[in-house]
Chain A
Amino acid sequence: MDDADGAIAVLGMARAVDLTVPSEDLAAVMAHLALLRGFAAVVGDPASEPAPVYRP
């Protein structure tokens, strides 16, 4: 996905939750989102069930 496609995708995701991304923030939001999706890739798909109410 090139930058233009990425921007369109992010703006579409934002529109879906009624959020307006200011133009001056668009590049930073895209960078943050790419970083977070990278983290999600590191997490992968663990087998454990989530704890709905977390207690240590």
Chain B
Amino acid sequence: MSATSIVRGASARDIAAWVRVGETTARDVATQALADIAERDAAINSVTDVFAHRALEDAERVDEVVRSGGDPGPLAGVPFAVKNLFDVEGVRTRAGSTVELDRPPAPADAAAIRRLRAAGAVVVAATNMDEYAHGFTTENGHYGTTRNPHDLTRIAGGSSGGSAAAVAAGLVPLALGSDTNGSIRVPSSLCGTYGLKPTFGRVSRAGTVLFVTSLDHVGPLARTVGDLALSFDALAGFDPADPVSSDHPIEPCTPVLGRGIDGLRLAVAGAHFTAVADATATEVVHRAAASLGVDREVTVDLSHQACAAASVITSAEAGQRHLPQLRSRAADYDPAVRPGLMAGALLPAADYLAAQRLRSAYREVVARAFDDVDVLITATTPCSAPLIGQKTMDVRGEQLLVGMSLGLLAQPWSLIGLPALSVPMTGADGLPIGVQLIAAPYAEASLFRVADALEAASVAVVAGSAP
């Protein structure tokens, strides 16, 4: 096995299995991951921080557990990366900004990192993002643009673009991202990775720089369904340190893989979800539905209004969160992000409260839809990856703003906290594009069963691109 072959393209499950039986060591895996990042990341600019010393120390601890006959965990020695809004002990948390760098180094790891580490995984790097998660493109004015590993002239999507690109390029098998309006699912779609936005409150956000308190979620990105399930099972759980954390009983998702979709009621979501999907996005939904034997389409009312409400809530909450810093050091913000935050800070309270009322109404509408459906299917993004610098995209003859519209199919589900999983496919244009699966609150296991069926049928084509 060559120096880089263990990590590059290998699944987390395989790496953990090799480490657990002593076929390789966690230290060797970490060393190779670090070398691979050093050698190959320059082309895509997915990584902003490398934690070499810490990674090797953590890996040696895993190896010591193996040597002593203990259980090193289901993710033993698996290297992973985190969006750079996650606190990493001893490191200044960037959140895609330079404003944050005046703060002291993080005193402890974010809760999600602690959970993956407890399962044996080793954090090796932090990844690029839109400043403060405000965007869908990862064209960051401070740290540069993250390029799509499948086509270096195209964006990786955002705001967890660095995490998606690092996974898609094979630098790490797993990464963590955050999702407010689609920021895990959008880059997963454009880069060809699996990405899960769990139910609101299912995974702790403690130790992350929040963007929109009432909408932010934390979740994993991976190259296989199995790896996504392994990481989600390690991440899920109640955390009193996150005020919105849920103590709802957890259903592990790894055991449901291979169970098939018998008994699940599936439907394609129409209306809004087909109106803002271009021909490429529409075709992958049809292909996925055909593979699953789905010929039913349902309309979810208020979805167009839900997107508008999500935008209003996002802007108002983010604007208010940043208002003190916008007053005192506006010049330190990314010029592409600053006007949007300022506009949000000026929104009338009446607009925000109306958006919250719409949110409640939409939750009721969707709850009724799930009375006779278990999993809804849509495209994840309206189209495949736009070019870097591209300002508008053509969707069914309409010119939509790239920076605001890539999340149009993802936003409604985040607004009401539903779990949603993006499955990678390849569009007719040869680029990755995701199919999105959505379920009722806490029904992540149903999503994994459908995603697993698509992977098993080779409908889900996983990215293997490497620059």
Chain A residues packing against B (C-beta within 8 Å)? 10, 13-14, 17-22, 24-25, 28-29, 31-33, 35-37, 39-40, 42-51, 54-56
29 A-B residue pairs with CB within 8 Å: A13-B346, A17-B345, A18-B327, A19-B326, A20-B327, A25-B330, A25-B338, A28-B340, A29-B339, A29-B343, A32-B339, A36-B311, A36-B315, A36-B344, A39-B308, A39-B355, A40-B347, A40-B351, A42-B304, A45-B354, A48-B357, A48-B361, A48-B364, A50-B360, A51-B356, A55-B246, A56-B200, A56-B417, A56-B441
In the bound complex, residues from chain A placing their C-beta under 8 Å from that of B345 are 17, 19
Q: How many residues of B contact A (CB 8 A)?
A: 46
| Closest A residue by C-beta to B202 | A56
B356 touches A50 (CB 8 A): yes
Q: Which of B200, B308, B315, B326 is within 8 Å of A55, CB to CB?
A: B200
Q: Which residue of A lies closest to B340 (CB)?
A: A32
Q: Check if B360 sits within 8 Å of A51, measured CB to CB.
A: yes
For the complex, what is the distance from the CA of A13 to the CA of B343, rounded to whole Å? Answer: 10
- B interface residues (Cβ-Cβ under 8 A, vs A): 199-201, 214, 244, 246, 304-305, 308-309, 311-312, 315, 323, 326-327, 330-331, 335, 338-340, 342-348, 351, 353-361, 363-364, 404, 416-418, 441
Residues of the B chain whose Cβ atoms lie less than 8 Å from the Cβ of A33? 343, 346-347
Contact residues in A for B344 (Cβ distance below 8 Å): 32, 36
C-alpha gap A34/B200 in the complex (Å): 30
Smallest CB separation, B354 vs chain A (Å)? 5
Q: What's the nearest-Cβ distance from chain A to residue B402, in Å? A: 14
Nearest CB of chain A from residue B302's CB, rounded to whole Å: 8
Residues of chain A lying within 8 A (CB to CB) of residue B441: 56
Bound-state Cα–Cα, A19 to B323, Å: 8
Judging by beta carbons under 8 Å apart, are A19 and B360 in contact?
no
Partner of A39, one of B201, B246, B311, B327: B311
Are A25 and B342 neighbours in the complex by a CB distance under 8 Å? yes
**Could you tell me the distance between the alpha carbons of A10 and B356 in the complex, rounded to whole angstroms?**
24
A29 to B346, CA, bound (A): 9
